[in-house]
Chain A
């Protein structure tokens, strides 16, 4: 706490150590550093910006409170994301909501199946439809599979980070991810056949 000035460039381990000794400013820097990824993880699970903000905020508070249990040589980000993930899951469960992967394609022409086909270049329309097919297929997956895919490909977490965030052994992340992808393919198949 005393002596060393706080700098935004300090490594996570230094900041967690200072925060652990009762320096909220050090923790503030960690919040700034990771609020975006925390918020996005929460948003992907909760599907609502307001809920995601609450979840992320509570997760930071819990992380601060849990610093005593946190090994300062361990990476902070995946530990935080694990707290965010748990917080988001618990909230959704207590709200009795079914998990949907909360993806909204960027504001862009995506033709709803309203029959009111808006004109768009065929290539873009195909890409949009592919995205929708992919989204629909993702939505039918188990929560575990969806989260593994979202963490890896949407949020670009490393496999080691995923293991921490999802609370599983590092060795199993790769196989878990490949199983999730295999199941995603299965979900794509019937739709493809039906549409011929």
Chain B
């Protein structure tokens, strides 16, 4: 039998392979059209008014769609409760946290960090235009909050009138963040409303998500792995961002703002700093 197979001509081998292929017991093909349509509709709904979706089509929506790749049944460190809590974009204004299996390829790290010239902490993170704190306060459409336990930041970056980032250099109580390029802590504050901002967070399976309280507010603490963000900026354009420091992230809401604190600090220390915002 087997040596007979050895004598097969090319045509016979090909025929045998076709015959084998014809006997593959494929499972019945599921109806994907409905589920794909539902996911596209869901993504479109996240994007806001229809006209805007079309106007941004499709490069921008691509980012949202990639972020929205939900993985059914993946083994997660995320507790069922937390997952339930975030499943419907609850709790945080304009924030959606989505579990993704794999992060989209991060954008290239700016090469600025490689240059010898000393730069302020966070300069390589693409956070916007550097600005003195006092100027930033004047430019923002909201009152900029500063963690009183840390004092004034070492650098401030303004992306537009609705987003400001405070950067602290590493110090004794503030370890250098894993990919932080001389950053110890990054606090981003942005004005978010449900219809104006989309902010998605891509959580890989090896990351951990916990629901926490920050003062009277609800928040989420994400640790263990880098993750990505998708949000809509003030002009309505969806931006892709990633966790800048590959550290831990605390996300919460306060005074109508959404706040994101990234550092190498643990949950309790992150919350302590967050609760000191004035």
Q: Which residues of A are in contact with B by a Cβ distance under 8 Å?
A: 20-22, 24-25, 27-28, 31-32, 35-36, 38-40, 43-44, 49-50, 52-54, 56-58, 60-62, 64-68, 90-91, 94, 103-108, 126, 129-131, 133-135, 149-150, 153-156, 181, 184-185, 188-189, 191-193, 195-196
Contact = CB atoms under 8 A, between A and B. Distances in A.
Contacts of B14: 153, 181
B114 interface: no
Contacts of A40: 26, 29
A28 B37 contact: yes
A40 B27 CA distance: 8
27 contacts: A21-B54, A22-B58, A28-B33, A32-B33, A35-B33, A38-B32, A39-B26, A43-B27, A49-B27, A50-B73, A54-B71, A64-B36, A65-B58, A65-B66, A90-B102, A103-B20, A106-B23, A108-B23, A133-B2, A153-B14, A154-B18, A154-B20, A154-B21, A156-B21, A181-B13, A188-B2, A192-B3
Closest 6 pairs (CB-CB, A-B): A154-B21, A65-B62, A49-B27, A192-B2, A153-B17, A65-B65
A153 B20 CA distance: 9
B27 A52 contact: yes
B66 A57 contact: no
A130 B62 contact: no
A57 B5 contact: no
A130 B17 CA distance: 10
Interface residues of B, number: 47
B53 interface: yes
Given A22-B53, A67-B58, A126-B1, A106 B36 contact: no
B59 interface: yes
Given A22-B54, A91-B101, A107-B25, A134 B33 contact: no
B13 A185 contact: yes
Contacts of A149: 17
A94 B102 contact: yes
A62 B65 contact: yes
B39 interface: yes
Given A24-B37, A60-B32, A189-B6, A104 B25 contact: yes
Contacts of A130: 1-2, 5, 16
A153 B21 CA distance: 6
A134 B20 contact: yes
B23 A181 contact: no
Nearest to B54: A22
Contacts of B59: 68
A192 B101 CA distance: 44
A60 to B, nearest CB: 5
Contacts of B2: 130, 133, 188, 191-192, 195
A185 B17 CA distance: 12
Nearest to B65: A65
B117 interface: no
B72 interface: yes
B37 A61 contact: no
B24 interface: yes
Given A39-B32, A61-B69, A104-B24, A24 B5 contact: no
A57 B44 CA distance: 17
B70 to A, nearest CB: 9
